[in-house]
Structure 1
Amino acid sequence: PSQDPGPLEPTPVVEWLASLGGDAGGFAQSVMVPLPATATGATVRTALQHLVDHHDALRLRRTAVTGGRWELEVRPPGTVPAGELLRHVDLAREGADDPAAYDALIEQERRAARRHLDPDRGDVVRAVLFHGWEDRLLLVIHHLAVDGVSWRVLLPDLELAHRHALRGEHAPLPPVPTPLRTWTRALRTAARSEAVRADETWWRSRLATPHAGLGSRPLDPARDTVDRAGRLSSTWAETWIEPLLTTVPAAFRARVPEILLAALSLALRRWSGNPQGAPVRVDLEGHGRRPGLAGLADLDLSRTVGWFTTLHPVLLDPPPATGSPAEVSARAVTHVKERLREVPHDGLTHGLLRQEGRLPDARAPLAFNYLGRFDTEDPCPLYPSDAADEARNGTLGGRHVFKK
């Protein structure tokens, strides 16, 4: 069935988040999408209701915290009223009549929506409908309920639900072959399997390898918190990005994250000023939907929404920087490819073993996550198909923003 309410086993990444302590209420991802001119508050509310009722993760609630462990549940469809999730903002009334004021208002509403999220109340979804010189919908969802892959399911479903809502119809959303609770139960069974136990020695050997620290001092959990972190964003020209995502990986027969990690390894070695020093340990995030473990490999997760992320350490230690820059880069890519392709089961077993208490809680000083490619030129999913040409011509906007 698409819906499967009841108690939910925490995934390894949820256990990791719980282990950090502190308040995770505003830990969220958000997407901003344009709306067709025919959208109304009623049609958006109807589409949101259909979406929330269809995908179990959007009805999550944290029921208890026991000894640092979170207990979760999926509530039945119909228990989360979409009208309580949706806020209406009139652009004219708010004085957002120029791009700068509009962008500031969006960020203000995004922050307010994140503050409102509360897993203990079951508030894991908030939506803001902007009406005025253009209509847009801001979706803010707690990370417990969504990841980067989930958006690729949710946005087309929301578009389909909204298209039918405009006609006063109930949308036939495609079923979810593997409900979220089926997956988490399968994970707990797999954690006790011989295949997972067999990976323990491999992970322990990697964790025992000496590695270099970063910065002038070790991180202090009481002092170095997310709310004190800075942010640095960089935008690159298409002339750099296009080959980075296409011809460069093809030339090395590598994946994009392998190219990026090779570049990171070279940058870290140069930054540290110690070319022959110890490797740097990095926590690598993956989408967690291709584990290859018995009992899991046959589960179809193509339409399951939730937080599936895997998090596991890798050691970045590029070979000596001798030869031309091209030769140094080529050796670094080859070395990273070998390192990553040694990792068993896409790193999932590290989280399972840690969750079972069979691996130490060894956090790396650096984390890396490649979110993939998000097209910002094609019309956003809430546009009806007959608006595609108009959207491409710029009369309806056509960009979306993906943020954590």
Structure 2
Amino acid sequence: EERVLCEVFADVLGLPRVGVDDNFFELGGHSLLATRLVSRVRTALSVELSMRDLFDNPTVTGLAARMEQPGRTRPAVTVRERPDVLPLSFAQRRLWFLNELEGPNPAYHTPMAVRLTGALDQEALRAALGDVVVRHEALRTVFPAHLGQPRQKVLAPEDLSPLLTVTPAGADRTEAIREAALEPFELSSRIPFRATLFTAGPDDHVLLLVLHHIAVDGWSLAPLVRDLSAAYAARCQGKAPDWAPLPVQYADYTLWQDDLLGDKGDSDSDASRQLTYWRSALADLPEELVLPTDRPRPAAVSHVSGEIPLRVPAETHRQLVSLAQEQGSTVFMVLESALAVLLFRLGCGTDIPIGTPVAGRTDDALDELVGFFVNTLVLRTDLSGDPRFVDVLARVKERWLSALAHQDLPFDQLVEDLAPARVMARHPLFQVMFVLQNNSRTELCFPGVNAEPLPVAPLPAKFDLDFSLSEEYGADGSPAGLDGTLNFSAALFDRATAEGIADRFARLLRAVVADPHLGIGELDVLGEAERHRLLVDWQGTAVSVPSMTLSDLFEAQVARDRDAVALEHGETELSYGELNARANRLARHLTGHAVGPEDVVAVRLERSPELVVVLLAVLKTGAAYLPVDPEYPAERIAYMLDDARPALVIDASWLASVDLTGTSDDSGAGTENLPAVNPDHPAYVMYTSGSTGRPKGVVVPHRGVVNWLLWLQEEYGLRTTDRVLQKTPFGFDVSVREFFWPLMTGATLVMAEPGGHKDPVYLAEVIRSRRVTVVHFVPSMLQAFLDEPSAAHCTGLRHVLCSGEALPAQLAARFRAVLDVPLHNLYGPTEASVEVTYSQCGQEGDEASIPIGRPLPNIRVYVLDGGLRPVPVGVAGELYVAGVGLARGYLG
């Protein structure tokens, strides 16, 4: 047995000899050659081995010892008696049904273009193509329906139409090749193979072979090219090719596959056994891998694609080979592990399913046959617990070997049994495919003709992302790099985003081989330029901010024009001087009640001029106001007051005892003897909604609010003629803008009636009749406002600001259709000085989504992963805010 094993090892590896203690994988073995070795051993010694057996015993000595243990042998593929109705293989059946459901799809074409320079014998080529099609029945098979079910019909050689079309190349040969490659097949009546010769001159041609995937797989191209080369050489000499006959045809494999798997309802069948494994392996699989796409998934299936070249240099390839050997794995396993880690770092979670094809040629009788044998496996990788890369590799190896032991179950049967939620625009079970082509490359060889492979335009996308790599080796057998492509769905990704993913994959591979013992969260996926962009270039500009408080900003405007109208409410008007005098009078009163810096004063009032007076007065004492909306439930009010322990609660009854009227000449109306207030004193305490637990009081100092207000004025430029509507309940921090932005600029604060913020009819009337120029809406209220026909008459508006909720793109587009006014989208958590990012909605109305924009001056905003590391552009993470706009913290 050891002698036979040595011969089989050497034959599969292409080596002159192999010793009994030589390691199969260290000699260049990989998963595909391992599959071939197992089938050769089965044929030579009638012994059934698994891939795990070979990985656990990679030497002749070890494998021979393993073979002494009893085990069952699967039946060989042999020539079968043909039934009247020849069924399709399981893989063919899936493609046939997809063809019926979606129509002919070029995504399932396999094109191969070769430039031929030299004296080409077209008649010899025509005859050679016929020889190949006669040799391989799969290439002359059509798929008509029989009683509603597909069947294979192998055409007799005499029934074949001419196989070669010769056409002038024309001015744009590339486009002609692309169109020919995408031309659909009529599977029911035309064979799944065609050849076109584009002629540009007597010695300049391009041969395009297009095959449908229902008849071929990637492995098939090597025997196809070898046979075509041999047939052409023979026909040039006036002879027929002298081939050894093929042991079986594809139809024999189809019948064998049915017998091998058996009935999945039979618990003793291979189909049942393998299905049981896959049910367990894929239990609770995520319905969809949430990739960092540029657009939402369309409702209808789209195969529009793009393609990015992938290149791994020889040195990295060498290190990948070395790492694989050190860890008792293969380059495929290392690459698959790296891709799973990349998807994890791109925000896809810790449960990563990736599709990968297996050759499906588990019998050496199939090695030289053209046909569709490939099956798709779902390799699920668990990345939880922040494992090291070598730990992930061990997990992938274990999963892969188990999957290979259950590789015969057709993918379509698995999908049918698991019955995942089906979405036409999404591939079931996985959306990312990984392919490593490590079968030997065979090039067309025609006597007297130079053959140069040509790229064909990207085929339509079958998956969201499809990584395909081929290993290259030098003449001395040393690793020479990996070449391939990333095919991406252009319906989901911009080209720049796909390029970024490809770059990150290459960067991650370099990080993996540099230190495979790092935790996967530590492996670098950001380039220096991107890191600088995220951490520096895209952050808020550092600007100097005067050391002022909110009351300082207001008082500076009072000094500029005390007679201007500061506030309107119904028929009531207050000038800046009157408002300031009342606020000063109340502030003096509060200090007399021991209210001062760092205190909290609860304010429980309805919207009114008195509310504005109270807020200003509290700020002038250095205390922070705590808004307590009278409409809050009694339980929330009680909780807030108990939690905040305010020094004072100001409500309507308390305020009624205080005389606020007077002029600036009244004693007590000035700012004398008021406490010194500095920008680090708290301005207000705003409670969170409590949606994620108990509400928390957020303490916000003056410094951040002043920074924000000064930016507002710099960016949007309120004029003294502007009129700002105050409609937001003051328990929401957006009200801070409505109160204090107009009062620091000389504009007029127009106050809505209590409860008016809920009534779009009333709001439209107020905006129109009170000549409001600036207003804020949460998106849901903006929607209701636009539903009111009179909203279109609010033509005096200069700026409309949105925040508080996500702004849907459809709503922004509708706004533009109703009002010709700039619409601004802002974002900020309660734990910041109202807002930290901003953007202006575009004027075209074609955005897929509305961004929250970029940080304000002196603000830094980071999107970080669970390990507080910056995530790449487009990747979801947690939003972190830093800088002057950050709140002091939670109360207490």
TM-score > 0.5 by shorter chain: yes
Q: Name the CA distance, whole Å, in 2 between partners of 1:400 and 1:173.
A: 28
Report the CA distance between 1:245 and its aligned residue.
Answer: 6.5
Q: Does 1:15 align with 2:75?
A: no
One-letter code of the match for 2:445?
L
Residue 409 of structure 2 is aligned to residue 331 of structure 1: no
The answer to whether the 8 Å contact 2:117/2:204 transfers is no
Question: What residue in structure 2 maps to residue 63 of structure 1?
Answer: 144
Change (3 A) 1:344 1:185: same
User: Which residue pairs with 1:87 in the alignment?
Assistant: 165
Q: Give CA deviations for 1:278-325 in whole Å, capped at 9, x if unaligned.
A: x122332211112xxxxxx5x610122111111232212235335xxx
1:242 to 313, 317, 324: 317
Counterpart of 1:114 (choices 165, 175, 182) is 182
Matches within 5 A, 1:5-404: 7-20=85-98, 21-24=101-104, 26=106, 27-35=108-116, 37-64=118-145, 69-81=149-161, 83=162, 85-91=163-169, 94-95=170-171, 101=172, 105-131=173-199, 132=201, 134-192=204-262, 194-211=269-286, 213-215=288-290, 223-226=300-303, 229-239=304-314, 242-243=317-318, 246-272=321-347, 274=349, 277=350, 279-290=351-362, 297=363, 300-321=365-386, 328-343=388-403, 345-351=405-411, 353-354=413-414, 359-360=418-419, 363-373=428-438, 380-384=443-447, 396=450, 398-399=452-453, 401=455
Contact in 2 for aligned 1:36/1:382 (Cα 8 Å): no
- Distance, in Å, in 2 between the alignment partners of 1:47 and 1:137 is 13
Quick one: which amino acid aligns to residue 167 of structure 2? V
Aligned with 1:204: secondary structure?
helix
CA distance in 2, matches of 1:200, 1:90: 52
Per-residue deviation at 1:191?
2.2
CA gap 1:346/1:370 in 2 versus in 1, 3 angstroms? farther
Q: Deviations over 1:34-89 (max 9, x none)?
A: 4462322211101101111111011111111766x5332222233223x3x32223
Give the C-alpha shift of residue 369 in structure 1.
3.8
Counterpart residue identity of residue 170, structure 1: A
What is the rounded CA distance, in whole Å, between the counterparts of 2:177 and 2:381 in structure 1?
39
SS for the counterpart of 1:370 is: strand
**Alpha-carbon separation, structure 1, partners of 2:297 and 2:81:** 41
Structure 1 residue 111: Cα displacement? 2.5
Q: Distance in 1 between matches of 2:158 and 2:313?
A: 45
Mapped to 2, the partners of 1:75 and 1:220 lie a distance apart of 42
5+ residue gaps in structure 1? 96-100, 291-296, 323-327
The residue identity in structure 2 corresponding to 1:347 is Q
Q: Tell me the C-alpha RMSD between the 2 structures.
A: 3.3
Q: Cα–Cα, structure 1 residues 210 and 170, in superposed 2: closer, same or farther, change >3 Å?
A: closer
Residue 234 of structure 1 and its aligned partner are, at CA, apart by 2.1
Q: Which moved more, 1:108-117 or 1:121-130?
A: 108-117
Q: With structure 1 as the length reference, what TM-score do the two structures score?
A: 0.78
**Following TM superposition, by how much is the alpha carbon of 1:161 offset from its aligned partner in structure 2, in angstroms?**
0.3
Cα offsets for 1:120-142 (capped at 9, x unmatched): 22231111213325333111111
User: CA-to-partner distance for each residue in 1:383-403, whole Å, 9 max, x for gaps?
Assistant: 33xx6xxx8xxxx35335477
User: Deviation of residue 176 (structure 1)?
Assistant: 1.4
Residue 294 (structure 1) aligns with: none
Identical columns (%)? 22
Structure 1 equivalent of residue 708 of structure 2: none
CA 248–4 in structure 1, closer or farther in 2 if over 3 Å, else same: farther
Does the CA-based 8 Å contact 1:354-1:361 persist in structure 2? no
User: Which residue is 1:98 aligned to?
Assistant: none
CA drift of 1:7 comes to 4.2
C-alpha distance in 1 between matches for 2:187 and 2:260: 27
Deviation at 1:211, TM superposition (A): 2.6
The answer to whether the 8 Å contact 2:445/2:451 transfers is: no
- The answer for the alignment partner of 1:293 in structure 2 is none
Q: Secondary structure at the match of 1:183?
A: helix
**Aligned residues of 1:52 and 1:80 also touching (Cα < 8 A):** no
* Cα gap change, 1:321 to 1:211, in 2 (>3 Å): same
Distance between the aligned counterparts of 2:400 and 2:357, measured in 1? Answer: 12
Whether the 8 Å contact between 1:311 and 1:348 is mirrored in structure 2 is: no
TM-score by length of 2: 0.37
Amino acid in structure 1 at the alignment position of 2:185 = L
